[in-house]
Structure 1
Amino acid sequence: MQASIIIADDHPLILRGLNDFLIEKKYNVLASAVNGKEAFDLIESHKPDIAILDIQMPYFTGLEIAEKCKDLDYHTKIILITFEKDETIYKQAKNLGIYGYVLKEFALEEIEHCIDNVIRDIPYFSRELLSSLEVEEAPEELETLTPTEIEVIKYISDNKTAKEIGDLMFTSFRTVEKHKSNINKKLNLTPTKYSLLFWAKENKNHLI
């Protein structure tokens, strides 16, 4: 069964363009909204699999809606679309468990890839966003990783699952999970569902 989607943006032309594009691509778009209150009402009434939300909207922002959904334990996965390339907003989105972050200038190029990742339960953050944020020096903890562990992280940064990594490295799923556990410890990461994925993407440029 195809994932159900609602979309919201207070710019009519962007909303219509995104709506028409998704319908043309045969996505199951249930409804659309022009402000945050309408968007949250649609999430409450339809319980969609995915909500694609503008960050800056009247009444509720996309982040405020995400926070409400998190507090209410709704299972709708939030994708944010925005012009903002702001590190603070990015960190807020990560902390709220946002599944996708797509820049509007690349929305039609990236939204399909983003949705397909989210359907597979893999967060997607625009490469342009990550590359525009300030790049820090390589974390010292990176030096503690073995070549095999670095290879695992490279695959993780490309959204590969543990099974896919195992197939690529000719090893078992269990071995990959063990590597991931060791990497989390060496990097001092809280072993939440996506902590390693976000670390891998943020530090991809340092993975030689």
Structure 2
Amino acid sequence: MNRHSIIIADDHPLLLKGLNDFLLEREYNIVGSGTDGREAYNLITKLNPDIAILDIQMPYLSGLEIAKKCKANGIDTKIVLITLHKERELYEKAQELNIFGYVLKEFALEEIENCITTVSQGDAFFSPKIKELLSTNKEYDDSLSILTPSEKKILKLIANDKTNKEIASLLFISYRTVEKHRSNIITKLNLEPKTNSLLIWAKEHHDRLI
């Protein structure tokens, strides 16, 4: 039996029960569970567990807010966040708060045991899936960072199915200038000079264009 004391908190009853049952079957030492952030923080202060596995978004206090309070009050419970969120900002915030674990909900059951083992040894565990995802997103960010503001505007209009003629009219530039910009963007993004290569790329990364 894993003797490290663990509490779990999630505001989704089925997810909470599923994770709780899964860990109990494997003889982990679950000492408490909660359904909101306030209850989770109270369990941490009362029971001083070795590990707290928390949903990142809960009523009253989020997983990040609990981690912040623990850090401010010198509570040494190791925080593990389970989340649906894949945004870089949340991941970086988790690292700033010295959070020991960051696991995506869709992979929670397959990763949680490895996470607990790693965290129990004093090492941080961040889901390989989130690292892989953020690594890919960083490549997108780097690609976009080499584009000029004008090129980004054109790319966004391309993603919105605007023709070269419509883009020229909307940006008050000549058709030839739009063509030149398109050519430059294709070169910078290292795309094949096929008819729809830029349109496909723009649509795939539409949510990253501002």
Residue in 2 aligned with 1:86?
A: 87
Unaligned runs of 5+ in 1: 138-208
1:165-184 map, 5 Å:
none
Residue 180 of structure 2: aligned partner? none
Partner of 2:126: 125
Structure 2 gap segments, 5+ residues each:
141-210
1:67-82 paired onto structure 2 within 5 Å: 67-82=68-83
* TM-score, L = length of structure 1: 0.65
Partner in structure 2 of residue 135 of structure 1: 138
Q: CA offset at residue 136 of structure 1?
A: 4.0
The whole-number CA distance in structure 2 between the counterparts of 1:89 and 1:50 is: 20
Q: 2:31: which partner in 1?
A: 30
The CA deviation string for residues 121-155 of structure 1, in whole angstroms up to 9 with x for no partner, is 11000111111112349xxxxxxxxxxxxxxxxxx
Per-residue CA deviations over 1:30-70 (Å, capped at 9, x if unaligned) read 01000000000000100000000000000000000000000
Q: Provide the residue aligned with 1:191 in structure 2.
A: none
Q: Secondary structure at the match of 1:135?
A: helix
Residue 16 (1) aligns with residue 28 (2): no
Percent identity of paired positions between Structure 1 and Structure 2: 56
Which residue does 2:6 correspond to in 1? 5
Matched residue, 2:107? 106
Q: Return the letter of the residue paired with 2:103.
A: V
Quick one: distance in 2 between partners of 1:50 and 1:86? 24
RMSD over aligned Cα atoms: 1.5
SS of the counterpart of 1:3? strand
Tell me which amino acid in the other structure corresponds to 2:25.
Answer: E
Distance in 2, Cα, partners of 1:136 & 1:92: 20
Aligned residue number for residue 56 of structure 1: 57
Q: How does 1:152-171 map to 2 (within 5 A)?
A: none
Partner of 1:169: none
Match of 2:176 in 1: none
- Secondary structure of the equivalent of 2:138? coil
Partner of 2:158: none
Q: Structure 2: which amino acid aligns with 1:48?
A: P
- Give the letter aligned to residue 86 of structure 1: E
Partner of 1:158: none
Greater C-alpha Rg: 2
